[in-house]
Structure 1
C-alpha cells in the first residue's frame, strides 16, 4: 500500500520543503511572517494553538472589519501550522482533520456571535449544525464547510413575528464574515445547501418546518448526511435537542424493504461499472472518481444506515471509527476493513497535498506531469510513474471492495449503466454530468435538478418513501432507455409531464420496475409520439392497461337504468383504454397499419352503436316512444374502414317514420340526432370520443341533422352534386335498423351509377379536383392526403371509376375491395389496380404512424429520428432515405394515373 512519507522531521523544515513545491504555502510565508517566526521558534503545535486562540477571541471584537481581519489572520496561521504538522508526519490523519475542524468550529461560532451582537440579538434558539466532513471532524485542507442553520421561532428573538427574517439576516451576515474575500483572503467557503429543500427554504430554517420536512419527505441520502451531524455553534443545547429529535428519522430500528432497496440503488448508481482504464487514469478525482474517498465513505454509511437503527454502537460520525465498528460487528471482514482504512488515510493525505498547491477545493490529481510531480514529492515520492501506479493500485482495491457491497442484490438487478448517475446531495456530480452528456442530454443540470426535486417529494408520485425508493432503482434503466430513443431531451421532457401528472406513483413505478419491456415501451412512446404522449399525460392510468387489461376487449353493455351522462362516461373509459392499446401496439410494431385501421374503425363503430343506443333511450325518456326506425351511416374514412388516430367521424342519420306520424317523427329524430352528436363529441370528465362531421348529409350544413329515407332518396337522385355522389361511394351502415340501412345503401348505389352523362361527370370531377388543389394546398411535403399524388388523387381516380362503371356492384366503401372489383369488371386495368392498391397500402402505413405520433402533416425535417426509424420499419424500408425515395416514386405514379384518368391539376 502506498505510504505518505514525511518531508522532514521538524515541522519548520517540512513546511519549508513544502513551500518549495506548493505555491500557496510559499505565499503563506510572505503573507504571515510572524506566524513563520512562531513556527520556527516553538513548532506547529504552539502556532496552531495561537491560531485557535485568535479565532475564539474574534467574537469579542467591536467592528465587522476587526472580526474579519482577525479570523483571516488566524486562518493563515492555522493553515501554516497544519501544513507543517501534516508534511512532517507529526500528527496522524485524524488529528490533522480534527484540528482543521476544530478551527472551523471556533471561526463559525465567532462569526455567528459577532453577527448576532451587531444586530442586538442573543443566540438563544439559533444554532448551527455541522454536517458532512465538518460534522465528522474530517475537514480537508481547503474544505468547504457544510452546515445547516436553524432557529426555534418560539425562542429566537423572543419569538417576534419577524424572527424568521431576522434569523436569515444573521445567517447572511455570518456567511459574509467567513466568505468575503479581502486583502487577507477568506476564512471558509460555506455551503448551506444540505438544509431541508434548499431551493425553497431561506438560509435559516425554522425547526418546525425542518421537523415536518424530515418526517414527510426526508430521503435516505439525507439520513446518511445526518449520521455525521453535530451542534457546532450558537445555542448548542438547542442544537443537541434538535439532533435528538431527528434520531428516529436517522436511525430506524426497522427499515422496510423499500428503504433498503433505495440505499442499495443509490450505491448502484455510483460507478456501477468501472473499467480498468478508469482506474488507470493518472489524473483521477480522488474524492468522486472510482476507487475514491466517497466510495469508502459510502461503504461505511450505507451499512450504518441499514443496521445502525438496531445496533447503536455502529453510530459513529467518523468514517474510520464507523469502519472499525462494522468490523467488530462482523459485518465487514477484518482484512477488508484494514485495507479500506489504509486507503482512506492515503487518499486523504494526497487530497491535502493537492489542495496545498493553490488552496483550491479540488480533489483531482493534476493532468500536467509537472504539477503532479509536485504532489508526488509533497507525498515523499520522487518517482512520478511509481507514484501514479501506486495511486491506481489503491483505488483499484477500494473499488473492488466497494463493488462487492450488496453484490448479491446487484446480480439480481443488473444494470448496464456506465458511469455515475447520482442525484443525491446538492452539487451536480461531475461524473453524472459526463454520463448524461454521453447519453445525449443537452442540459445535464436540468435533468439532475428535476430528478432531485422528485426525490424531495415535489411530485405526488414520490411523496412516499416507497415511491422515492422505486424511482431511485428505475433511474439508470430509465435514462438509458431515453438515450436509446435518439431523442433523450424530448423523452425526458415528456416523461416529466407524464410522471408529474401521476396522482400516486407507487402502482405505476412498481409496474415499470416489474415488467421488463414496459419501461422501454413507455419511453419510446413518449419520445416519438407526442400525440400518444399527451394522452398518457392526461390519463396516466392508461399505462396499467398494457399489463393488466380490464378484459373489456368488447364494448360494455349499457345499463338502461343509468343516466345519460353515466353512460357517456362509461363508453369513454372503455374507448380510451382500447384506443390507447391500439395506438401502443401500432407504434411498437405489434399491429400492422392495415389491421390498425380496421381496429380504429371497429372501435368507432362500437362507440357509435353504444352512444346511439343511449341517445335513443334518453330521447324516448324525454319525448316519448320512438316513432319509427333509424339508421346511422358512416362516410369518409370511417365508411372505408380507414380510420386513424384522432380521425373525425363523417356520419349521416336516416329515419323511416311510422305511418301517420311523419311530422312528429321529424322532431323526435332531430332530437335523437342532436343527442347522439353530443354523446359522441362533448367533453366530459372522461374526455370525448370523436369529433363528428355531419356536412356530408343531404343539403350539407343547411339540411336537417336527421333525414327521412324518402328525402334521402329524392335528394340523391334529383339534387346531389357529383362530389356528393363521390363521397356517397363510401357509405356504410354502422348502427340502427339493418333493413333501413340496407335500403339507404341501395338508394345510394343506384344514384351513384345513374344520373348525369359520363362526360358531364368527368368535367365535374376534374373541376372539383382543381378547385380543391387551389383552395386546399398541401401543408407540407408529408401531407399524405393533399399532396399531389397523395390519397385525394387516389380516391378521385377510384371514385370516378365507380361513378362511370355502370354497375352498382362496383360501388364499395373500402379502397382495396373497390379497386379489385373494378379490375375484375374491366373498369381498371391490372396495372392500374396494382398501382392503386400498393400505393394505398404504402401511404396508409405511413399515415397510420404519422397521425398517431404527431397528429399532423409535416415536413420531413420535423420528424424525430425515432419517428423516422419507425416509419421506415412500418413500410419495410431499410432506412428513412429509402422511404423518402419510395414515397416520391409512389406519389409520382399516382399523379400520372390521375393525369391519365382525370386530367392535370394546372388549368393552363
Structure 2
C-alpha cells in the first residue's frame, strides 16, 4: 500500500537554513503564526524534523515566509493534512469556482477572488512538499499544470455562462457550459505538456467554431469572443489585493499582430495550411485542449496533424528551429557555460536545449512514427530511444538533466516568486539555491550543475553540427567567378578527380543557380556548407569524375534542393550512401531525382539492422495509410509507400545489409501488402457505386516470381483474379446494379488501374494478366469453377508449369482455400511424363530461338541460367506424382522447391550445382536489376556496380566472376539435359 504523503513525516536534514540570522527570522515568523494556529505552536515548541524543516524552508524562501505571515492558516493546513488530497481538493474547488451557489451565479470579482485564494494556498503547500522532497520535479510540474488547467477551465465556464445569462449566446447545457460550445482553448508550451514551473506564464490559443450554433448572431462572433478573451486575461493575470493567478499569453495564435484574440477555426486552418511556420509546428507538438469544448479541441488537433507532422521528412525545418535557439542566445547574451548568473532555461546546456533536442526530431520523424507524437519531454526522449532515433543512454542522460534543471528552476523561482530562470550572481544567494536542493555547499552544487549543462550542450550541438569546411593544410575550394581557382584545382586533384578543371566548371554551374535545385539563396547556402564533405566523399570513390557527373545529372533533374541539402547536411552518414548510389546505381539515382522523398526512410536508425519482413512492412503501411481520407488519397499513399519501400529494400541490398534472396522475399512481401490494400480500396469503391454482389467473393492469385517470392526491384506482377457469387443472384445490390460478369470485370479493371495507372506519384506495379486461363484471349477475371475446369481439362503444360508457382496473395480466405485445392488437385494428377518432358524441352528451345541471350550477363536467358533452373524445379514438380509421393510445394521459392524435389530426383552433385548457381545468379540479377534499367553492359557499367557484383560473387575481379558464371551455367545446362532431355 502506498504511503500517505504528509509534511509532518518529513525526513531529517532534507534542507538547511541559509544562515543562522535568517533561521532566527524564520523561527520568529513561525512563533507568530503559532499564536493563531495551535498546531503550528505545538510543532515549534518541540524539537523534531518538521520544526527544523519549516525553519529551514522559511529561511531559504522569503516568499514562503511572507505567505505564512499573511495567511497563517496555510501553515496549519499544510502540516495537518495529507498533501495529495489537500491539493486535489483545491483543484476541485478551483474548477468549480464558476458554479452557481444557492441559485446565484458568482460575479466576476467573486470568481477572481476564489481563484487567487486557491492559487496562494496551492502554491504554498506544493512548494513546501517540493522542498521536503515529498514530490519530484516531475510530480511538481504535473500538479502545477493541473491547477492551471482548472483555473483556465473555470474562468472559461464562468465567461460562457455570463454570456448565456446576458443573451449573447445560448448554451447547449448551462450546467456544463463548455459542452458543444465550439469554443476551443488550447494549452501550449509547458501548460500543454503538463510541465509548468512555479512562475510560468501560461500560453493559450483560443479558437471558435461559428457554426456551433450557440451565438445569437454569428456575425458578432469575433467581437463576442474577443471581449470574452480580454475578460479572461483580466480574471487570470490582473493583480488585486489577493494577488494574481497566472500571467496569460495569447501570442502563439496565428499572426498575432493582425488577428483577434480568438480566431475562427476556418481562418486558423487556412493560415496553418498556407502560412504556418516551422516554429509553430514545434509549438503544436505540446498543444492540448485545456478548457472549453474539449471534444472540438481534440478534433481540431487531429485536423492539424498533417501540418505539424509531415508525411515526408522535413529536414529544412531543423535549421529554422536551430536558428530560433541561436537568436535566443544572441538576444539574451548568453555565452559560455557558467554557474553564477547562468540562465538554466535559455542558456547553453539549459532546459530549452533539451526541449529543442526532442522537438526537432519529433518534427522530422513524427509523421512516420506516431509513437513520437508525445507532448511531454521525458516520454518524447524515451520514444526516440525506442525508435532507435537516439541511443537509450542519451535519453536517460537528458531525462536526468531535464529534471535536475527543472528542480533548479523551481528553487530559483521559489525564493521570491519571480518569473526568472537565472541563477544569482553572488555566492550568498547561490548558497541559498544549493541548500534548497539539498547540497552541502556551493562547490558541490556548481560541479553537478556544470556537468549537467556540459552534457546537454554536447548532445544538443551534435544534433545540429554540420560537416566542417576545409581550411588550412587541406586546401581551398572556391567556385565563384568565371575562371578556375588554381588552388581549388589542386585540391580537387588531391581528392582523386582526374579532370579537376571539368569538375570545377560543373560545380560553378551549381553555384550560379542555373539548376532549379540551386536557384534559391538558401539552397545554395546549404550546398556551399556541404561542398567540402561532398567532394571529399566523391573523391574517395572509384571513378570519382563519373560519380560526380551522375550527381550533376541528379541535381539537374531535382525540382528543388533545399530539402535534400538540409537532409544530407544534418545527417553526414547519408553522404556516403549518396556517393554509393551515384557510383554504382544509376537506376536508384534516377529514382531519387524524380522522387526525393523516397530518401526519407534512410533516416530510420534501424534501417540497416532490421530485415524488411512482412510484419515490419505491414506495420509501416498501416501507419502510412492511417491518415488517408478518400480513394484517390489512399492510392496515392500506396504509390508513395511502394516507391519508398522498394527504394529502401534496394538500399539494403546495395549496401549488403540483406542478400539477393532476402530482397526477393522483401519485394514480394511488399507486393502482397500493396495488392491487398489496393484490392480493399477498389472493393470499397465498387460497392459504393454498384453495391455488394450476393455471395460475391474475390481473391487474387500471384503467379511467376510473385508466387515464388522472387520479385526484383524492377519486376512487374503476374496476377489472376478469381471470383465467385451466388448463382441465383441476377445483379449487384447497389444504386447502379451490374450483372456478375460486368461486376467482376469492373473489379479487375479498377484493380489493374489502381496498381498500374501512371500518376504523379508513379505506379504501384505494372500488371501482367497473360497467365490467366486462355491468356489474352480469355476474360480478365475467372470464376473459380471455370478456372478449375480449365486447369483440369484445357491447360497446356506451360500453364501447369506456371501453376507450380501459383499462390493466393489476398482476398477472400474461403475462395483462396478453394483455389489452393484446385492447384493441389491438378498438380497431384498422374502425369504423362513423356508429354511433359517433350513440352518442357520444346518450350525451352522456343525461348532460346525467340529470345536469345545478349551476353553472359543475361543471367535469365543464358543456357544454364535462371530459366533452366526454374524449368528444372517446375518439371520435377509436374512429374513427381508419378512416384506416388505426396508433394506440396505451395508457396515455395525455386530454391525451396529444388531442395524438396531434387533430393529424390537429382544426384547430390547436380542438386548442389543447381543451388549454387541459383544463389549466385539470384544475387547478381537482383543487384543488376536494382542498379540499371535495361541490359547490363559490363564495359559501360559504373565502377561501383562492378565492384558490388564482384563482392556479391565473392570474386576479386570481373574476369574471375565471368568465368564462374560460365562454369556454373555450363554445369546447370548439363543437369537440365539429364533431367529434361
TM-score by length of structure 1 reads: 0.52
Radius of gyration: which is bigger? 1
CA distance in 2 between counterparts of 1:767 and 1:660 reads: 45
2:703 — aligned with what?
635
Structure 2 gaps, min length 5: 1-322, 328-464, 608-615, 732-738
Contact 2:476–2:491 (Cα < 8 Å) also in 1:
yes
User: Structure 2 residue aligned with 1:670, among 745, 753, 770?
Assistant: 745
Residue equivalent to 2:692: 625
Provide the rounded CA distance (Å) in 2 between the counterparts of 1:759 and 1:477. 66
Structure 1 counterpart of 2:893: 814
- Other-structure match for 1:841: 919
Once residues 626 and 828 of structure 1 are traced to their aligned partners in structure 2, the CA distance between those partners, rounded to angstroms, is 50
1:359-398 matches, within 5 Å, as none
* Unmatched 5+ stretches in structure 1: 1-254, 260-408, 904-908
Of 673, 677, 687, the match for 1:610:
677
Q: Which residue of 2 aligns with 1:478?
A: 534
**Per-residue deviation, residues 769-789 of structure 1 (Å, max 9, x unmatched):** 111111111123211110111
- Mapped to 2, the partners of 1:733 and 1:535 lie a distance apart of 30
- Say if 1:468 and 1:749 are closer, same or farther in 2 by CA, change over 3 A: same
- Of 497, 501, 523, the residue aligned with 2:579 is 523
Secondary structure in 1 matching 2:656: coil
Matches within 5 A, 1:321-470: 418-437=474-493, 439=495, 441=497, 443-470=499-526
Matched ranges for 1:504-515 at <5 A: 504-515=560-571
Q: Residues 88-107 of structure 1: matches in 2 within 5 Å?
A: none
CA distance in 1, matches of 2:809, 2:820: 11
2:950 equivalent to 1:882: no
Take 2:637 and 2:852, find their aligned partners in 1: how far apart are those partners? 40
Residues 1:650 and 2:725 are matched in the alignment? no
1:659 to 727, 745, 757: 727
Deviation of 1:823 after TM superposition, in Å, equals 3.5
Deviation at 1:884, TM superposition (A): 2.0
Q: How far does residue 690 in structure 1 lie from its aligned partner after superposition?
A: 1.0
Query: Contact 1:641–1:814 at 8 Å: present in 2 too?
Result: yes
SS in 2 for 1:735: strand
2:876 touches 2:902 (CA, 8 Å); kept in 1? no
Distance 2:471 2:715 in 1: 41
Q: Provide the C-alpha distance between the structure 2 equivalents of 1:410 and 1:844, rounded to a whole number of angstroms.
A: 40
Is 2:632 the partner of 1:565? yes
Contact kept? 2:466, 2:569, Cα under 8 Å = no
Q: After the TM superposition, which residues 266-305 of structure 1 pair with which residues of structure 2 at under 5 Å, given as runs?
A: none
Q: Deviations over 1:825-866 (max 9, x none)?
A: x23333333222222111111111000001333242232221
* Counterpart residue number, 1:861: 939
User: Take 1:744 and 1:536, find their aligned partners in 2: how far apart are those partners?
Assistant: 40
SS at 1:428's partner residue? Answer: coil
Q: Given the alignment, which residue of 815, 818, 821 partners 1:746?
A: 821
1:781 and 1:859 in contact (8 A); partners too? no
Q: Is the 8 A contact 2:470 2:476 kept in 1?
A: no
Q: Could you tell me how far 1:470 is from its partner in structure 2?
A: 2.6
Deviation at 1:446, TM superposition (A): 3.6
Q: Tell me the CA shift for residue 256 of structure 1.
A: 12
Aligned residues of 1:646 and 1:690 also touching (Cα < 8 A) = no
Q: 1:410 to 1:640 in 2, by over 3 A?
A: closer
Which residue number corresponds to residue 710 of structure 1?
A: 785
- Alpha-carbon distance, 1:510 to partner: 2.6
Q: Distance in 1 between matches of 2:693 and 2:640?
A: 28
Q: Deviations over 1:258-307 (max 9, x none)?
A: 99xxxxxxxxxxxxxxxxxxxxxxxxxxxxxxxxxxxxxxxxxxxxxxxx
Corresponding position of 1:179: none
1:765 Cα deviation (Å)? 0.9
What is aligned with 1:36? none
Matches within 5 A, 1:249-268: none
Instruction: Name the structure 2 match of 1:682.
Output: 757
Residues 787 and 466 (structure 1 numbering): CA distance in 2 closer, same or farther, change over 3 Å? Answer: same
Distance change (3 Å), C-alpha of 1:258 and 1:477: farther
- Distance in 2 separating the partners of 1:836 and 1:597: 18
CA–CA distance in 1 between the matches of 2:741 and 2:472?
68
Partners of 1:518 and 1:417 lie apart in 2 by 26
What per-residue deviation string (whole Å, max 9, x for no partner) do you get for residues 471-527 of structure 1? 223222212322332232332232123334444433322322232321011121022
Q: Quick one: structure 1 residues 766 and 729, their matched pair in 2 at CA, closer, same or farther if it must change by over 3 Å? A: same
Match of 1:725, SS state, is helix
Partner of 2:657: 590
1:444/1:413 CA distance change after superposition, 3 Å: closer
Could you tell me how far apart the structure 2 residues matched to 1:519 and 1:749 are? 51
Secondary structure at the aligned position of 2:622 is classed as coil
Decide whether aligned partners of structure 1 residues 819 and 458 sit closer, same or farther in structure 2, where only a CA change above 3 A counts. same
Whether contact under 8 Å (2:693, 2:725) holds in the other structure is: no
| 1:464 to partner: Cα distance | 4.4
* Range moving further from structure 2, 421-430 or 460-469: 460-469
Q: Is the 8 A contact 2:598 2:647 kept in 1?
A: yes
1:794 aligns with 2:869: yes
Specify the alignment match of 2:949 in structure 1: 871
Q: Using the TM superposition, give the Cα deviation of residue 638 of structure 1 relative to its aligned residue in structure 2, in angstroms.
A: 0.8
CA 458–697 in structure 1, closer or farther in 2 if over 3 Å, else same: same
Shift in CA distance, 677/415, structure 1 to aligned 2, threshold 3 Å = farther
> Per the alignment, do residues 662 and 486 of structure 1 end up closer, same or farther by CA in structure 2, a change over 3 Å counting?
farther
1:523–1:631 distance in 2 versus 1, CA, 3 Å: same
- Give me the whole-angstrom Cα distance separating, in 2, the residues matched to 1:462 and 1:856: 31
Q: CA deviation at 1:440?
A: 5.3
Q: 2:866, 2:921 within 8 Å by CA — same for their partners in 1?
A: yes
Structure number with the bigger relative contact order (C-alpha 8 A, sep ≥ 6) is: 1
Structure 1 SS opposite 2:599:
helix
RMSD, aligned CA: 2.9
Say if 1:411 and 1:498 are closer, same or farther in 2 by CA, change over 3 A. Answer: closer
Give the alignment's TM-score, normalised by structure 2.
0.48
- 1:823 paired to 2:902: yes
Distance 1:258 1:478, change over 3 A: farther
* 765-774 or 511-520: bigger deviation: 511-520
State the alpha-carbon separation in 2 of the partners of residues 595 and 416 from structure 1: 47
Shift of 1:451: 2.0
3-state secondary structure, aligned to 1:554: helix
| 8 A contact 2:703–2:720 mirrored in 1 | yes
CA apart distance, 1:592: 1.7
**C-alpha contact (below 8 Å) 1:733/1:745 kept by paired residues:** yes
The offset of 1:457, in angstroms, is: 3.0
**Deviation string for 1:233-266 (max 9, x for gaps)?**
xxxxxxxxxxxxxxxxxxxxxx99999xxxxxxx
Secondary structure at the aligned position of 1:555 is classed as helix
How far, CA to CA, are the matches of 1:603 and 1:421 in structure 2?
Answer: 44
Checking the alignment, whether the CA contact within 8 Å between 1:698 and 1:720 is kept in structure 2 is: yes
1:554 aligned onto 2:620: yes
Seen in structure 2, the aligned counterparts of structure 1 residues 764 and 473 have a Cα distance that, compared at 3 Å, is same
Shift of the alpha carbon at 1:416?
Answer: 11
Name the CA distance, whole Å, in 2 between partners of 1:667 and 1:560: 32
Q: What is the CA–CA distance in structure 1 between the aligned matches of 2:559 and 2:467, rounded to whole Å?
A: 33
Q: Please state whether the residue corresponding to 1:650 is helix, strand or coil.
A: strand
Aligned partners of 1:669 and 1:706 also within 8 Å: yes
For residues 326-366 of structure 1, what are the alpha-carbon distances to aligned partners after superposition, in whole Å with 9 as ceiling and x for unaligned? xxxxxxxxxxxxxxxxxxxxxxxxxxxxxxxxxxxxxxxxx
